[in-house]
Structure 1
């Protein structure tokens, strides 16, 4: 063999024999790094396009997330390539892998909760579940998103209480600030009430709502009266609803309740005593 006739050090001879394999490992690692950079740039651009405000807090968080992702991927790819090269030249990496595994296990057990929170935070941001300023219910707490990080979400309740919820504890999210909302008001009437006349009154209230200068711009369609929704023990329930811009349903509901109270006789629990003579 050619290398047996050349007085090369054993290590150099070993490198020469496995040169093509090592070169292939390095090429694959290089391509993996290029692919990682391309994917992260594409995802960052896509997520920023979903955010209408340039330079917002969410944009900065996106940059931070993908900087961490890119750096982590870089370390994983380079470390994997290095181990494969060492294996190719005959270095026993078993003890090294054992040490790395022990350290990784210790760090994993110690940071298990933190990792769960951070991973959940990444998915919350990637799926755009909520943004700062939106009215939501997360982790059983309702309010407005005041702050969001990879580790936790901060919700300001309507009474002013501030809740900090670890992202890993969030199982379901209700968002009232996306696309459209619906103002729904149920009207409980006495059984003696003329229902068709009451429905006409509700239609008048709906028309008045559409002519209200402050609230009309928040409406996305005409108010709808559905008729009798329920027959209770002491009331007949009618319903009026209208689709509104996100977050505007509360003001519309207050207006509807106020007008209903002024124009209709509402039901209330009553006790009747019959005297038998």
Structure 2
């Protein structure tokens, strides 16, 4: 190789740059493989601390982006060192960093936000979220990189959102319960009997409706009474099961009120 380079000295630097890039690609690939296996080891953790599959995908995506960006910067700096002496290179890098901080602050902000998502676990791949930035966007997270987050909307469009534009996140895929409130309109003369009937079956309803996680509470939100009045049942369902449980809840309540001759008013 040295004899070949001696004959073609102009090829020396391009070959070194090529070696830098190939070496960086190999090291980055090995680090990604190691990261993949380390994330798999997380499955051996106790149930309370075991990361979800979505969390593993998110971490793998963000760490891969970080590795690619880091080695790209290293290769570029090393390649520049072949043509510029160290003192000049340090000065150029300082100038470049200052220019980058001023001119590319939005891009830098995107990357810093991506790192924040990596450590804070705000949302993960596969979760349904709504993000507030320039305008609210709702969808399922498909990909998270250091710079952007990709959301698939319910109508099929793919939104690519810079991480730096995400100001707040509403996560529909995490929570302890969902609200399944229902409102009943009855004659005011039946108010006392209706309240007593609903209070009497609230404990039994938890057994009859598996998705109801605690006895409901009977309230009147408006605090008004006339010929008719409205009662609201504040019910907590298992997370994501409110819409599925509500028809069964309505049927149970109507059945119990009919037993004591209370008709619901339309």
Q: TM-score, normalised by structure 1?
A: 0.56
Counterpart for residue 113 of structure 2: 120
Counterpart for residue 229 of structure 1: 221
CA distance in 2, matches of 1:64, 1:172: 25
Q: How does 1:3-82 map to 2 (within 5 A)?
A: 51-53=51-53, 56-65=56-65, 67=67
Q: How does 1:69-108 map to 2 (within 5 A)?
A: 93=87, 96-108=89-101
- The 8 Å contact of residues 188 and 238 in structure 1, kept in 2 or not, is answered as yes
Choose 203-212 or 172-181, whichever is displaced more. 203-212
- The 8 Å contact of residues 181 and 243 in structure 1, kept in 2 or not, is answered as yes
Counterpart for residue 197 of structure 1: 193
- Any idea what the Cα deviations from partners look like across 1:78-116, whole Å, max 9, x if unmatched? 99xx9xxxxxxxx994x5544323323333444332221
Max Rg structure: 1
Q: TM-score, normalised by structure 2?
A: 0.57
Choose 167-176 or 106-115, whichever is displaced more. 106-115
- Any idea what the Cα deviations from partners look like across 1:116-155, whole Å, max 9, x if unmatched? 1221122112111111222322223334333322222233
Q: How does 1:89-238 map to 2 (within 5 A)?
A: 93=87, 96-139=89-132, 140-190=136-186, 192=188, 194-200=190-196, 202=198, 204=201, 207=204, 210-212=207-209, 216=210, 218-219=211-212, 221-231=213-223, 235-238=229-232
User: Unaligned regions of 5+ residues in structure 2, if any?
Assistant: 1-30, 43-48
Counterpart for residue 239 of structure 1: 233
- The 8 Å contact of residues 185 and 257 in structure 1, kept in 2 or not, is answered as no
Change in CA separation of 1:232 and 1:166 when aligned onto 2, cut-off 3 Å: farther
- The 8 Å contact of residues 142 and 150 in structure 2, kept in 1 or not, is answered as yes
- The 8 Å contact of residues 121 and 152 in structure 1, kept in 2 or not, is answered as yes
Change in CA separation of 1:54 and 1:144 when aligned onto 2, cut-off 3 Å: closer
- Any idea what the Cα deviations from partners look like across 1:146-183, whole Å, max 9, x if unmatched? 33222222334445554333221111222232251222
Shift of 1:242: 1.9
Change in CA separation of 1:99 and 1:161 when aligned onto 2, cut-off 3 Å: closer
Change in CA separation of 1:230 and 1:161 when aligned onto 2, cut-off 3 Å: farther
User: Unaligned regions of 5+ residues in structure 1, if any?
Assistant: 1-36, 83-90, 269-277
